[in-house]
Amino acid sequence: MNHRVQVPWRGIGIAAVAVAATIACMACRAAENRELILATTTSVQDTGLLDVLLDLFTKESGYTVKPIAVGTGQAIELGRKGSADILWVHSPDDELQFVAEGYGTNRVSFMHNVFVLLGPTGDPARVRGTSAITNAFRKIAEAKSPFVSRGDQSGTHKKELKIWKQTGITPAAPWYIEVGQGMAQTVHVANEKQAYCLADRSTQLSLRKMIQLGIVSEGDPALRNVYSLILVNPVKFPKVNAIGARALQDFLLSARTKKIVEEFGKEKHGAQLFYHDYEAPGEEEVNVQCPMLIAK
C-alpha cells in the first residue's frame, strides 16, 4: 500500500533536504548493485555444489555472485577487510570471534558433513578400525607415517590442529608435511605420497575414483563439520552489498535449497555429500528480489 505524506516545505532547511536526497541516492545505488562477493571454502566449490546453487540464484534473482573459494581463515580475513559481502565458512570458534568483534552479523549454522581420516591401502600405522580420532592420530605419530596437512588455516586445518592438541603431540617434519593448499589438492598430494590426511567426506566422495586412499577412521562425533553463513557488517563496512548478501543468505536457507543440497551428489557418487540442517520458517517460495523494492 502506498502512503502519501504531505510535507510542510516551509521552514525545512537546505541541509535537511540534502540529507534526504543523500539517503535516497544511497537507496538507489543499493538497488542498482546487482553484484556481490561470497568468500567461501574450497570444499563446497571442489564438490560442484557451489556452482549449482549460485547458477540458480543468479538466474532467479539477477545478482551476479563472485565466489572466492579459499580456506576459512582466509575467507574470514576477507570479511575483516570488508572485501566480501557474505561468508560461507566452517570454523565455529573463528566465526564466533568474527561476529563478537563486530565484523559480521546474522551468523546462521545451516549445513554439515563429516571429516574422515584417509590413508593408504597398506595402512602402515595400523589405523584402520580405530574409531576415536585422537587414537588414530597417535598411531600415525608413533609410526612416523607420512601425514599431509592443509597447513592453510582453513576450517579443516583448524580441526586437525585441535585433534593434535588433544593428543598432546606436536607433529613435525619429516613425516608431517604442510602443503598450504585447498582440500582437493591436499588429498591429491597425500595420494601421491601414500600418506594419511584429514578430509571432509564430501571431497573424498567426489575424488574417490581418482585416488587410492581409503577411509581408515570415521564416526567420531568430534568429526562433525558444520558450515555457517555470516553477513559482513554494513555498519562497519558501508560499501558492502548488504541487500544482495541477505538475499543470498535467504536463498541458501530456503526449503527449496535444502532439497537441492540433500539430493546433490547422490546420482553421481552414490551417496549424500552434504546435510542441510536449517528448518525454513515456512514452505513458501523465498523471494530473492531486492528487499528494499518489496512493499511491506
The structural domains of the chain, ordered by start, are 14-113+225-293 (3.40.190.10), 114-223 (3.40.190.10)
Q: How far apart are CA 196 and CA 189, in angstroms?
A: 10
pLDDT score, position 246: 97
The DSSP secondary-structure symbol of 196 reads B
Q: How far apart are CA 193 and CA 124, in angstroms?
A: 13
Q: What is the grid cell recorded at 254?
A: 530456503
Q: How far apart are CA 64 and CA 199, in angstroms?
A: 30
The DSSP secondary-structure symbol of 289 reads S
Closest alpha carbon to 65 in 101, 96, 40: 40
Positions of the chain with pLDDT under 70: 1-32, 282-296
The DSSP secondary-structure symbol of 195 reads -
Q: How far apart are CA 293 and CA 296, in angstroms?
A: 9
Q: How far is CA 168 from the centre of its chain?
A: 29
pLDDT score, position 32: 65
The DSSP secondary-structure symbol of 264 reads T
DSSP string, 76-136: HHHHHTT--SEEEE--HHHHHHHHHTTSEEEEEEEEEEEEEEEE-TT-TT--TT--SHHHH
Cβ 181 vs Cβ 150: under 8 Å: yes
Q: How far apart are CA 240 and CA 82, in angstroms?
A: 7
pTM check: above 0.85: no
Q: What is the grid cell recorded at 70?
A: 579459499
Q: What is the grid cell recorded at 20?
A: 534526504
Determine how β-strand 104-119 pairs with β-strand 224-232. Answer: antiparallel
What pLDDT digit, counting tens, does each position of 14-68 carry? Answer: 434 443 443 344 455 555 689 999 999 988 998 999 999 999 999 999 999 999 9
pLDDT score, position 281: 73
Closest alpha carbon to 153 in 176, 130, 182: 182
- Burial letters for 140-177: b for 16+ Cβ neighbours within 10 Å, e otherwise? bbebebbbbbbbbbbbbbbbbbebbeebebebeeeebb
pLDDT score, position 269: 87
pLDDT score, position 31: 54
For 250: left if phi > 0, alpha if psi spans -120 to 50, otherwise beta; the answer is alpha
pLDDT score, position 280: 74
